[in-house]
Structure formats: C-alpha cells, structure tokens
C-alpha cells in the first residue's frame, strides 16, 4: 500500500491558520515543487528529478497532517530536555547514543553517526509514519493478537499487540518507541473502520532531530 501525500506533517508557517487549500492553490504549489526538482537535473549524476520523486495524488486539500494544535505545527520542545539537532553540515558536539537522524558527533566509529546514515531510523519510518521523497510503501500483516505495520524505508516493522499487554519493562527503550501498551493498557481503538494506534515514546532518538 502506498501512502505518499500532497501535504506535509507540519503546516508551513507562511500559511498561518489556513487549514485547507483550493485546487488552484494546490496546482500552483505543486508546480513550484516540480520545477525545483527538475532544476536538480543540472547537477548531473546524483541529481534527483521528478522521475524518482513520488508526488502525492490523493486529492486531499489539507495543509498539514497535524490537526491539533490549531496551527498545525509541532509543539515547542520541552525546556531542559537534551536535543541533538543534527544536519548535513559539520558534525555537532554530543555524546553517545547519537539521537539525531542526520549528521553525527564524530567519525571515530559507526556509533558516532546519525541513525539514518546507519539505516536504523529515519526517513518515513517514524514514529509517526510520514511520507518522504520515495519508497512510501507499507505492508500490513494481522492475526488475532498482533498487527504488524512494515515500511519499506527504513525497513521498520511496527508491532502492535491488540489482545495482549506489552512485555516490555520501563528500563527497555526502543528506537521507535513501544506500540504495545499505553497508559493503563490503552494502546489501540477502532474509530469507525480505522484502527487508531498509540505509541509510547520511550524511544532513544530525537523526533525529527
């Protein structure tokens, strides 16, 4: 199943509180995006163009996946919580374990590099699952006790226990959190025909860090 979308996780700041776009506005924005990708052809070998990019075509006119808060944007980071920002520039100072997706803190060993560079976490694997440039494919496997949601990039299998409690203890932390138990055993529910899954982020990496 494919899950590429036209709109991002966060609403672009320049759109303010605008929750939807008209068809004309979507066409204009998409055209500008495609023009930017096509310009990368001039780079030559290694350039991405629209042949490789999976543009969303689901017809949705929302401006963000986030619906709350009203501004459609992620909340501010909590003061006092350590954050490793990361990026494509020079290495950033920091300690192991490296929690950033892109970049690194040194080059003394693989443990000093970002998680996507090591193909552990990153791109569209989440949490939450978010569309990326390509490989927006997901496979869903279910039996009476478990649902497994497996993404192509980076090869993450989210295991959701729907009839049993998680066996993880508080001292066990996963890179992508625990989808097995939330709060007092509340970890999933059905809303109409949609299975809603909560993930407790006892995870090791910085969300979109």
Q: Over the stretch 15-56, which tens digit does the pLDDT of each residue have?
A: 988 999 998 988 888 788 777 777 766 766 666 666 777 777
Backbone phi, psi, residue 43, to 5°: -70, -30
Any idea where the domains of the chain sit in the sequence?
1-74, 119-209
Instruction: State the pTM of this model.
Output: 0.72
| DSSP secondary structure, 45-88, as one string | TT---TTT-----S---BS-S--SSTT-SPPPPPTT-------S
H or E stretch including 26? helix 23-39
pLDDT at 108 over 90: yes
Q: Over the stretch 48-96, which tens digit does the pLDDT of each residue have?
A: 666 777 777 666 788 998 888 889 998 887 777 666 666 778 888 888 8
């Amino acid at each position: 199943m494919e899950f590429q979308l036209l709109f991002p996780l966060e609403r672009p700041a320049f759109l303010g509180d605008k929750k939807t776009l008209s068809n004309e506005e979507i066409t204009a924005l998409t055209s500008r995006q495609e023009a930017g990708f096509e310009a990368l052809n001039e780079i030559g070998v290694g350039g991405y163009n629209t042949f490789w990019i999976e543009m969303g075509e689901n017809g949705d006119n929302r401006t963000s996946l986030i619906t709350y808060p009203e501004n459609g944007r992620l909340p501010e980071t909590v003061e006092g919580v350590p954050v490793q920002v990361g990026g494509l520039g020079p290495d950033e100072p920091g300690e192991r374990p490296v929690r950033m997706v892109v970049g690194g803190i040194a080059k003394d060993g693989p443990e000093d590099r970002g998680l996507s560079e090591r193909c552990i976490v990153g791109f569209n694997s989440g949490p939450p699952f978010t569309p990326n440039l390509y490989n927006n494919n997901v496979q869903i496997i279910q039996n009476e006790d478990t649902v497994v949601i497996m993404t192509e990039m980076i090869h993450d299998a989210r295991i959701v226990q729907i009839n049993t409690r998680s066996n993880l203890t508080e001292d066990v932390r996963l890179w992508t959190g625990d989808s097995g138990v939330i709060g007092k055993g509340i970890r999933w529910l059905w809303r109409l025909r949609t299975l809603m899954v909560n993930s407790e982020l006892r995870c090791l990496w910085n969300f979109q860090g």
